[in-house]
Each structure stands twice: as C-alpha cells, then as structure tokens.
Chains A and B, each alone.
Chain A
C-alpha cells in the first residue's frame, strides 16, 4: 500500500478504471492539456490520448448532455465539473434526462460526474458549495461523498461501475491535506454502506465529507470530558445507510447530525426526521443538527469561518447533548 493524498487517490481510481476498461473516458473543462483545475487528470491525455481525455468548452450542459448520449450508446463517461457549483447549468440534462432515462426507457445511464465541492479557502459563494442534498432529492441519481483517500478511490470505481448517474462530490479541502494508505490494486467500496469512523457509546455524530475530520477533533475534546463519541461517516448520501445510522442512534440514544451544507433542507434534515420516525422510543435527547446557516458562502475569511461548522461549534453541540 502506498500513502496517497485524497487527490492522488481519486486520480489513481480514475486511472485504474481507464486502464482496465476502454469504454471509460474523461470530459471536462481543462481536463486534457492542463490536467484539470486541481490536477486530478494530470498526465492522463499523454497516457490515454486526446479521444479519451476531452477538453470541453465552458458549457456544463454540453458536457452532461454528451455524457448522457455516450452512456446510452454504451460508453462510461466521467465528467468533471470544474467546481461543483457549476453543475446547476447542467441541471436539466442531469435531472430531466439522465436521472429518468432508465425509468422511462430501461436504458442504463452509467455516467459519473466529479464535483469538486466544499469551502474553507475563501472561494466565495460560487466556488464553495456542497449541493449534495439537491441531487439526493432526485430519484434516479446517486450521491457519493468520500472522506478518506481509501474511500475516494474505492467509491470512484464503484461510481464508474454503477449503471446509474452518480454524482461524486470530492471535497477540495481534503485534496492535498488528507493523506492515507491506499491499496494499489483495484477495489471497490460499495455505495450505500456507511463507515464507522470512530466507535463510541454516549453520542453519535452522523456526518460525511470534510466534516468527518471536524467531528473527529471535537470527539477528541469530548474524550477529556469522559464522553465517548461515535462517528458514522455516511460515505454516500444517496443511497444512505439507514440501518447503520439507526443502529448507532439506538445504541447511544443521542444524535448529532453534522454537515457543511446549509441547514434548511440539507440532507441532515432527512436523517434527523428518519431517526425521529424510526428510533423515537430509543432517543434520550432531541436529534441535533449542526450545519451552515442559510446564506451563500461568504468570501471574507472570518465570515467563512463563522459560516462553516468549526471544531468549537461541534464541541459545544456535543457538550450540550451530553448535558441534556
């Protein structure tokens, strides 16, 4: 096993599939000559050629539309949105066509859309969002949000293999900051299976993406209080691992749902509602949510820091639940 950054693990997963399966190709803005805005596809055009690493115009609608057509004709396209925020241009092709094609005509649409998402670097309102809940709400789409390098590779391969459109949200804040052991061989991480990031008895944190690390730091602070915190990393938001979440909720009876996306209508609302509905009799405190406020992501660094849930916010929330 090699130690790779989260970003290198994504490249590794993509390269593995492109070497294995000639149907897999990459399309996106500057993914070819330039190697991608974040260099995920650096060297890909040299290895796989111009026809499998396609530079597209600045037209997300065209990218997803081309992918949908190629997928219906039997290929396995992997699209890169330069930033997850830009996917909104392709909403119609993704939601109206790709998500419903299999339901309407029985045709699989095996496309993967890579979405560099998340904030923390003053990217401002157009380059920092986490729009997973918007797409988790669309039947026919799957949403993947890896937190570790190992999951980043395994989930990307599962996404490419999957016969449905899969949105792969890769968190920019993790790209080069997070490193970890990644198996060199090909492997998959199943969609819809959560990972217990940390076992605990007193409070469950349900989260995903970069917030896994925020939760981890907060949990370490709670250790000092003698409160044992369990962290469930959902890994995929749709489908999501309801049994794992309910099992943890029933074990600890106190649940904090944490996400970087804004609060109202965020995917945490779905999780909290499900826990209230199915594990009500096992709760010892109200299900608590910590999320960003309902505003665009601010550019100003202090404001952005106040916007994105920080370790101190999570620690305070956990202490509140512990004292309830």
Chain B
C-alpha cells in the first residue's frame, strides 16, 4: 500500500517487559523508497536485537532518532510518506511495527509484539462513565440515611444527625459534616475552659474535678448551637447523655403539642388490697410475679379504655384515630432515677390479671437490662406512670406523644375515710386510698370525658370482680 498520507514509525514493544530500545542502524536513509514490511532499521533492546519493518510503502521522508540513541517504546522514529510533516495521531493505529517474534525462540510469548502505543490506545478506549452519571443512578435516600460512623459520633456526642445540614449524596450527613458541626458548636469551649477552672474555694473540695469535665463541649444538638455556659464556682459540668437529650426533646415537644390538663380521683383500694393479699403467695410461688397495685390499675384501666376510645386514641392531623386494641406503655425508671424508658405491652386487652403481671414484670426487667427490642418501645396507645413508689400522692405527668392521655398512680396511703355503716350512718373508717390522675390532651379529651373515665376506673377498682378481671 503506497501512501501519500504521513505514517509514523515508532519504537516497537519488543516483549512484555521491555520499555526502551536503541537504534543500532538505519537501513534506509531519508528520501529512500521503502515497501511495506521491508526492513527499515535495526534496534537493540536488553532482550533482543532485531530489525523493524516498515509499516507502509512510500518515501522515508524524515528520520527523527539517530543511530546510537536510546528511546522509550512508542517514541516516533521516522515518518513515511506525506510531506515530511508529522502524521496526525489517529484514534486507532493498527500499524504493526511488528517485531519478528521468531527472533526469540525460547520465550516466544514474551516477544509477542504489541503494536499500539500507550497513547494510541488511550484514544481508542471506550468512554468511562463520569462520576456524575454514576452518582445520579444511585438511590437518593440521603436525607434520612445515617451511616454507621455518623450514628456512632452522634451517639457519643448526643447530637441529632437530622439537625445537621448534609453535603453527601442526596443531602446525607457525612462524617465530615457531623464533625464540623460538633467542632463549630465547641469552638467557644476553649474560651470557657479557663473560667471553668476557678481557684477552688476552701469549702468546695469537689472543685478540682471541674477542669476534667469542662473541656468536653456541650453537645450541640439544637439547630442553633447553645452558647457555652461558663461554670461558676462550685459548679461541675457533665455531658448530657443521648437518653437525657431524647427525653428533653420529647418532653418539650409534648408540652408544645398537647393542651395538658390533669384531673385526679381518690380510690378506695380495700377490695384490691384484700384480693392482692390472697393472690400474692400463689402468684409468687407458681409464676414468680408479684400482683402489685399497678397491675390491678393497668388491668382496670385497659378495661375502662374500651368504653373511652378517644382516651385510647390520637389526634392525627384532621383525623381522630381510635383503635380496637390497647397498647399499654409503662414508664420505667433507669439509671437510679436519671433515665426513663417506656416499654409497651402490646394488645393489653387480651391479658388477664396474671398475663398483665407477667408482661409488666418481663418488660420492666428487660428495660433495666437494656434488652428491649426497638419494636417494644413503640406503638403505645396509652401510658401509665407510677411515681407513687416513693410516697408521692399527686402529680401532673407529661403525655407520651402522640397519645391522648397518661394515667398517674400514686402511693396507697391509709386514711381516715368517711363511709356508711350497715345502718346507713356515716362513720370514719381506716381505708387504703390511692390517688389516680389522668393527664389528657384537651384538644381531644374534654374534662367531662376524663371525669367519667376516672369515675368508671374507680368503680372497677373499688368493686373488683375476680371472675371478670
């Protein structure tokens, strides 16, 4: 094939590992006619000496590398044809500057020639997907997906990742985002630190501990990082735990959401007390559970809720949600009174007194052992809290959102109580009395409805019918 188009002659790849070669002799000179595959020059590499055939027929217009020079594989050595100017690079250059593979009999495979140079193959390469194309095909769950390391850092610092602006895929919060967020919230901490370690007053031996606690920055969970507070003399700082932060957020949100109103009622627990005394031995010996007052209240409340679906309900947007079941939450204290969790007994309406006792004992124990499953602290429809264990007789609990009400049970206290004797005369008797409170969301539940609920609940407890409950 004679050509008028300029064709480059390049230093061939003489085997897998050879990277350079030396021109030992030009067999043709500039201006000479050459035929395709006619020997053009001799080269020497550290493996073989060989001749390089011409890639095309035409005039050898230009010799670019002189004898004795050593150049890299792929270097242009000469130009054949054209006007002597350099050939334009083409997308694919199959010019076989074929080295005679037979020159190396022993390792013929190593001598397999590889005509295209690195540059030419580069051009022939199929286009790679660009990063933007690949990222676009990914799912866009970024806003809600929290990676393991972000979850870990959030937990360690008590930070809510959803409050952090994300720069990752789909708005995901990256490790860098959360670290930057925490750092920005902690920036003022070094300023606070010197103040946090005042000279210890003689009367305050605990004060030297302060510096150790102070450098830990106040966790910046709120959308706007809270300005760090300097410790005053005698104060110590401790970090807010994730649970504490969760409780704080929920309590504030509940008060901001529901219109809290509390009604209270006094209940004569004489009958429950008597039945309880009777059942106690059997329950403990046969089932390993204790028939506490709380169990009776829980059982009676569940039964009463069947008649008051709104109190077991929820205000959800424009709809009032009522249910055919009762999922009963129980507030359980943790960490020596410094923590709180509300495990839920699902389908409490299906449990008799013993079933309720077992269920409550089980979830309370597992709550303290931190063995609750995530599902077991969700889905409550009504909650009972029992602060009476320490003798308190009244309280105004906060509703567990999005429920409509929370029942408080308090200490059973022996009181002088006015009752009627057999002859219809008022007499004073000593009776075990328990206060119950119902704190309800007045947006959904009015005072009259709450009053009726408490009345019916009292009625069930004061006239406990063993055959029913």
A→B interface (CB under 8 Å):
7, 30, 34, 37-39, 82-83, 121-124, 126-127, 172-173, 175-177, 202, 253, 280-285, 301-302, 305-306, 310, 312-313, 316, 319-320, 323-324
* Best-surrounded residue of A7, A122, A172 (most CB of chain B within 10 A): A122
By a CB distance below 8 angstroms, the chain B residues around A202 are 176
B155-176 toward A: CB 8 Å interface, digit per residue (1/0)?
A: 0000000000000110010111
Complex interface residues of chain B between 137 and 156 (CB less than 8 A to chain A): 147-152
By a CB distance below 8 angstroms, the chain B residues around A283 are 147-149
Q: Closest CB of chain A to B140's CB: distance in Å?
A: 12
**Contacts A34-B106, A324-B174; A316 near B130 (Cβ below 8 A):** yes
Complex interface residues of chain B between 313 and 330 (CB less than 8 A to chain A): none
By a CB distance below 8 angstroms, the chain A residues around B125 are 302, 305-306, 310
Complex interface residues of chain B between 102 and 134 (CB less than 8 A to chain A): 106-107, 109-110, 112, 114-116, 121, 124-126, 128-131, 134
By a CB distance below 8 angstroms, the chain A residues around B150 are 284
7 contacts between A and B (CB under 8 A): A37-B110, A39-B47, A121-B114, A127-B16, A176-B17, A253-B147, A282-B148
What CA separation (Å) do A246 and B156 show in the bound complex?
Answer: 21
Check B124–A121 contact: CB distance below 8 A. Answer: no
Q: Closest CB of chain B to A35's CB: distance in Å?
A: 9
**Contacts A176-B17, A316-B134; A282 near B174 (Cβ below 8 A):** no
Check B135–A323 contact: CB distance below 8 A. Answer: yes
B1-37 toward A: CB 8 Å interface, digit per residue (1/0)?
A: 0000000000001011111100000000000000000
Check A284–B175 contact: CB distance below 8 A. Answer: yes
What CA separation (Å) do A45 and B469 show in the bound complex?
Answer: 100
What CA separation (Å) do A293 and B381 show in the bound complex?
Answer: 54
Check A302–B152 contact: CB distance below 8 A. Answer: no
Q: 5 smallest A-B Cβ distances: which pairs?
A: A37-B107, A319-B131, A175-B17, A284-B175, A176-B19
**Contacts A284-B149, A302-B121, A302-B124; A320 near B131 (Cβ below 8 A):** yes
What CA separation (Å) do A306 and B116 show in the bound complex?
Answer: 15
* Best-surrounded residue of B13, B19, B150 (most CB of chain A within 10 A): B19
Q: Which residue of A lies closest to B46 (CB)?
A: A39
By a CB distance below 8 angstroms, the chain B residues around A173 are 16-17
By a CB distance below 8 angstroms, the chain A residues around B114 are 121-122, 301
Check B148–A281 contact: CB distance below 8 A. Answer: yes
By a CB distance below 8 angstroms, the chain A residues around B149 are 253, 281-284
What CA separation (Å) do A231 and B426 show in the bound complex?
Answer: 91
Judged by DSSP, the binding face of A is: loop
**Contacts A123-B112, A172-B17, A282-B148; A316 near B131 (Cβ below 8 A):** yes
By a CB distance below 8 angstroms, the chain A residues around B175 are 253, 284
Check B126–A306 contact: CB distance below 8 A. Answer: yes
Judged by DSSP, the binding face of B is: loop
Beyond A316-B131, A323-B168, list 17 extra A-B contacts (CB 8 Å): A83-B109, A121-B13, A121-B15, A123-B109, A127-B16, A280-B148, A282-B152, A283-B149, A284-B150, A301-B116, A302-B121, A305-B125, A310-B125, A316-B130, A320-B134, A323-B135, A323-B169
Q: Which residue of A lies closest to B178 (CB)?
A: A284
What CA separation (Å) do A82 and B131 show in the bound complex?
Answer: 40
Q: Closest CB of chain B to A70's CB: distance in Å?
A: 24
What CA separation (Å) do A283 and B151 show in the bound complex?
Answer: 10
Q: Closest CB of chain A to B9's CB: distance in Å?
A: 18
**Contacts A30-B107, A323-B168; A123 near B130 (Cβ below 8 A):** no
Q: Which residue of B lies closest to A285 (CB)?
A: B147
* Best-surrounded residue of B13, B20, B109, B126 (most CB of chain A within 10 A): B109
Q: Closest CB of chain A to B428's CB: distance in Å?
A: 65
* Best-surrounded residue of B18, B147, B169 (most CB of chain A within 10 A): B147
Q: Closest CB of chain A to B405's CB: distance in Å?
A: 39
What CA separation (Å) do A305 and B121 show in the bound complex?
Answer: 8
**Contacts A7-B17, A172-B16; A313 near B128 (Cβ below 8 A):** yes
By a CB distance below 8 angstroms, the chain B residues around A302 are 92, 121, 124-126
Check A301–B168 contact: CB distance below 8 A. Answer: no
By a CB distance below 8 angstroms, the chain A residues around B107 are 30, 34, 37-38, 82
What CA separation (Å) do A122 and B118 show in the bound complex?
Answer: 12
Check A284–B106 contact: CB distance below 8 A. Answer: no
* Best-surrounded residue of A7, A82, A305 (most CB of chain B within 10 A): A305
Q: Which residue of A lies closest to B123 (CB)?
A: A302
Q: Which residue of B lies closest to A171 (CB)?
A: B17
Q: Closest CB of chain A to B130's CB: distance in Å?
A: 7
Check A312–B128 contact: CB distance below 8 A. Answer: yes
Contact of B152 among A34, A122, A281, A316 (CB under 8 A): A281
Check B128–A316 contact: CB distance below 8 A. Answer: yes
Q: Closest CB of chain B to A7's CB: distance in Å?
A: 7
Q: Closest CB of chain A to B117's CB: distance in Å?
A: 10
By a CB distance below 8 angstroms, the chain A residues around B176 are 202
What CA separation (Å) do A83 and B112 show in the bound complex?
Answer: 14
What CA separation (Å) do A283 and B92 show in the bound complex?
Answer: 43
By a CB distance below 8 angstroms, the chain A residues around B148 are 280-284
**Contacts A37-B110, A282-B152, A305-B125; A323 near B131 (Cβ below 8 A):** yes
Q: Closest CB of chain A to B415's CB: distance in Å?
A: 55
Q: Closest CB of chain A to B70's CB: distance in Å?
A: 12
Q: Closest CB of chain B to A274's CB: distance in Å?
A: 15
What CA separation (Å) do A82 and B125 show in the bound complex?
Answer: 30
By a CB distance below 8 angstroms, the chain A residues around B134 are 316, 320
What CA separation (Å) do A306 and B128 show in the bound complex?
Answer: 9
Q: Closest CB of chain B to A48's CB: distance in Å?
A: 20
By a CB distance below 8 angstroms, the chain B residues around A285 are 147
By a CB distance below 8 angstroms, the chain B residues around A34 are 106-107
B38-80 toward A: CB 8 Å interface, digit per residue (1/0)?
A: 0000000011000000000000000000000000000000000
Q: Closest CB of chain A to B144's CB: distance in Å?
A: 15
Q: Closest CB of chain B to A129's CB: distance in Å?
A: 13
What CA separation (Å) do A180 and B151 show in the bound complex?
Answer: 44
By a CB distance below 8 angstroms, the chain B residues around A39 are 46-47
By a CB distance below 8 angstroms, the chain B residues around A305 are 121, 124-125
